[in-house]
Amino acid sequence: MKEPNMIVDSNSLVNERIDSQVDAKEQETLVQVPASLDITAVKRVIDADTIEVYLNGNTVDVRLLLIDAPETTHPDIPDEPFGAEAVARARQILTGKHVQLEYDGPRYDAYGRLLAYVWIDGMMLNELLLEEGLAHVAYIYHPPYKYYDRYVKAQMRARDGWKGIWGRDGLRSGMF
């Protein structure tokens, strides 16, 4: 029997949704993993919206598609509110793991980073960070995008729930 705050993908992999209250309908949405994606090992979490992976024998930077998380590593911008929490959450989820990459729109950004939706243990990391208020929808350069509407809804749930960057401290920071 499945415990509360747990989701199971089609391979019966279990991943605990720590500090996230997601109802049954949202859980069903989060576990619909597309078939035939690139599977790769995470080498390093650079920040909450950029990771480094091993792909086809190369080390590749991957930028999480359609989201922006508070800065923690930008050389010209001081650390932003909730940046440390977002990076810690990404590291908690990704360290030592394999992920699946799904592509939509252009393959690379202006910095040469691979653009992807990042799936891990049956959930989409991009969407999870939005749900938890640790990122916001951004960089919509070549619509339409497959998960755009889903992402906007996830962001609205975080805003309505005053989570993370949408909470009182985040809104007071003038970040958004």
The residues carrying an active-site annotation are: 63, 71, 113
Q: Which of 67, 79, 81 is nearest to 129 (CA)?
A: 67
ω into residue 144 within 30 of 0, thus cis?
yes
For residues 70 and 86, is the Cβ–Cβ distance under 8 A? yes
Cα 84 to Cα 9: distance, rounded to the nearest angstrom:
28
The whole-angstrom distance between residue 36's C-alpha and the CA centroid of its chain comes to: 20
DSSP label of 164:
G
Give residue 123's region: left, alpha or beta (phi > 0; psi -120 to 50).
beta
